[in-house]
Amino acid sequence: MAKRRISLTHRKQRSILTDMLPFEVPPTFSNRGYYCFLRDNSVEIEKGQLRWICETDALDRTMRLLFGINPTIGITTEVVTEWGKRKTRRFVPINKCQMATIPFNFRVAHNLDGRTLSVVHPRNQVEVASFYATHSSLITYHTSVSELSIRRPVSVSRYAYFKDKLHEERLDALAGLEEEDREYEQLGSYFVYREYRNIHKFFESYKYHRSEKKYDAMVQIDVSKCFDSIYTHSLPWAVLGKDQTKFSLDESKATFGGRFDALMQNLNHKETNGIVIGPEFSRVFAEIILQSVDAELITQLAKISNLTHKVDYEIFRYVDDFFVFYNEDSAQIKIFETLQGILKTKKLSINTAKIKHYKKPIITEITIAKERISDLLNDEIDPVSENELLTDPTKPPKQNLVCAINANRLITRYKAALKEANVTYGDLLNYTFAIAENKIEKLFKVYVASDKSDRDRKRLSNALLAIMEFVFFAYSASPKVNHTIRICRMIATSVDFLHAQGFPYEQKHLLFKYIHDNVIQQLEKSTMSVHREVESLYLLISLSQIGREYWLPISVLLRHFLIKEENDTGNYIRLSGFMNHFSITILLSYIKDKVRYAKLKAFVEAHIIDKLEYMKAHCPNDAETLMMLLDLVVCPYISTTTKDAIGQIFGLDAPMLASVQAANDYWFTAWGDKFNLGKELDAKRSHEVY
């Protein structure tokens, strides 16, 4: 099916949707509601002012809360004409807003020790969006100075492309998405990127093969903890030069580099060592610094070592990974030493444990494994439609679905392929699940084209069960967020399809029960104490879509969220600190107003008050506490009494709280009918981790 193209609008606020949040945030959490608030009220930072459009003072309290404007600071108004309409613009100087904030940090599984990702404060997101809109040309200029980079922004996106997905084409129950929502779905990033959005595309490219013909060896070099180690002042150094920046410090603060540096400090509590990890704008910041490393490396190698790029060696850099092709070992040693010295001046270093050397044929273990796994899955999962010849030749032949999958054989062959290629499950799981997703969609297409007989339904149900058995087996070895999103997307697509096609309960139950049992197994395997929080929250919300007969026992929820019932009082207590924003909102979304979970919900409401009281000193400059306030005061599942108590912690009396509640119907967490799991998981397709 041909892709459709739509023009992108609301450019000043658009990066709020694309470049602000880590890919790994739970499916209930997004910036869509916040974006709508900013767009509908024309909230922007422009010419040193925070501005918004409102005929009355109805939004003033919300804006003061959002942007840390002191109650003693007056709000100025002026009448402006925009597109022939007279409007009342309200504004305060941006220097009267408290822009130094604390980001909301959360942990995800990564290697052995996990990784900390950040959601920056909503007010700083507007500041970043303003910076993008003002300096997009300078950003693309400073990310184009290096010929080594193979993933860099080159222009501002002007269009989004989408094609109707299978479940939108085939399932009446899911038809009718609004165009505006489709725009949200397909927004990938604020900038257009060149040349490769995925490193594996580079390994299979003409450039890679051309370099292999020209050179005898390749070494892969990784910058150690790049984002954790970046010194924010390195950016003005990269743009202006280190000496010039230091000797003209005040002047440098007003430049592009100085402003970007100050912005990154503001949103990370004035921290200069390390930048927040997760948002796309952090990668843009790092790219500018690493581009200066590239340029300096080429210059020094030519001057000091008499090595010419694309003659004696050739380098490609993908984010913080360098791929160095060479012929002579002496050249490789000089390149390594020179790069190490340059990185040191930026307070960065090489991760010597991750250096990999390759001789001809220059092919990575992952590339070998991808070939084998692609062949394996194409061989083992091959849904086709066959004609059934009838005794009456005048009638058209019936179309039967044929797809016999031996899950045990598939798992055994998959393990053998990984072992032979010397790679881990985590190295290939994203690729494996991408193929599995495509196989499920093909399975559905073949079924839709068949005669949908009872035999076809049984074959489809058995095939889905076998695929799920395989993917849950593989997933258990590497339950990271991006893998979890993939498996949840397969679950959601399958559940929606079986419901929409009217499958009988008995055939759906086999699959749903298998999913239910495996999710429980994962939840019990990974409690909140071992940094599997976000991964398990995806599975929990995915399970909630199956049906009431698969609701989790209260004991499973208590155990997973580290909540214990005291023997003497029967009260609930949490065994380890406070739950974070994601855990609280996902748990509320799961238990809703179900009677069986009433006691747990009462505990969660009390837990919320205790957490916010503990964090009171940081309100509302702490990103997590502000987002909790905005999300919870519009939550349909908690009591008015709890909402009033939350407002009081933030200094909001009843009229003030009512004005905040009226300002937007949802902010970051989509509650109730505003949440569509299938759509949210599909939206992740455009934001796959690079």
Mean pLDDT for 638-648 is 95
Rounded to two decimals, the pTM is 0.89
34 band by pLDDT with thresholds 50, 70 and 90? very high
User: Which pLDDT value is given to residue 390?
Assistant: 61
pLDDT tens sequence across 571-580: 999 988 899 9
Distance from C-alpha of 85 to C-alpha of 10, rounded to nearest angstrom? 18
Q: Give the residue-averaged pLDDT of 553-558.
A: 91
Q: How many percent of the chain have pLDDT more than 70? A: 89
Q: Residue 362 — very low, low, confident or very high, per pLDDT cuts 50/70/90?
A: confident
pLDDT of residue 179: 34
Handedness of CA 665, 669, 671, 677 (dihedral sign): positive
The whole-number pLDDT of residue 364 equals: 84
Q: What is the 3-state secondary structure (H, E, C) of 306-320?
A: CCCECCCEEEEEECC
* Strands annotated E in 508-620: 563-565, 572-574
* pLDDT at residue 176 in the model: 30
625 phi and psi, to 5 degrees?
Answer: -70, -40
Tell me the average pLDDT across 206-231: 93
Pairing of strands 76-82, 49-53: unpaired
Q: Would you state the pLDDT for residue 168? A: 44
**466-499 pLDDT, tens digit each:** 999 999 999 998 888 889 999 999 999 999 999 9
End-to-end CA distance of the chain: 26
- Whether residue 174 is predicted with pLDDT greater than 50 in this model: the reply is no
How far is 477 from 415, CA to CA, in rounded Å?
A: 11
Q: What does the pLDDT average to over 397-426?
A: 90
The whole-angstrom separation of Cα 67 and Cα 73 is 12
User: Nearest 5°: CA angle at 51, between 47 and 54?
Assistant: 155
When pLDDT is averaged across residues 398-411 and rounded to a whole number, the result is 89
- The mean of the pLDDT values for the chain is 88
Task: Report DSSP state, residue 255.
Answer: S
pLDDT reading at 688 higher than 80? no
**Crossing angle (nearest 10°) for helices 32-40 and 122-142:** 90
Q: How many CA atoms lie within 13 A of 362 on its CB side?
A: 27
Over the stretch 178-213, which tens digit does the pLDDT of each residue have?
333 444 444 678 898 887 877 888 888 899 999 999
Alpha helices in 267-364 (DSSP H): 280-304, 329-345
Confidence of residue 303 (pLDDT cuts 50, 70, 90): very high
Assign 495 to helix, strand or coil: helix
pLDDT category at 549 given cuts 50, 70, 90 is confident
Q: Please, are residues 254 and 94 in contact by the beta-carbon 8 Å criterion?
A: no
Domain ranges (residues) in the chain: 5-149+151-175+182-193, 217-359, 362-514
Q: Which residues contact 464 (CB under 8 A, 6 or more apart)?
A: 440, 443, 494, 498, 511
Q: How far apart are CA 316 and CA 552, in angstroms?
A: 49
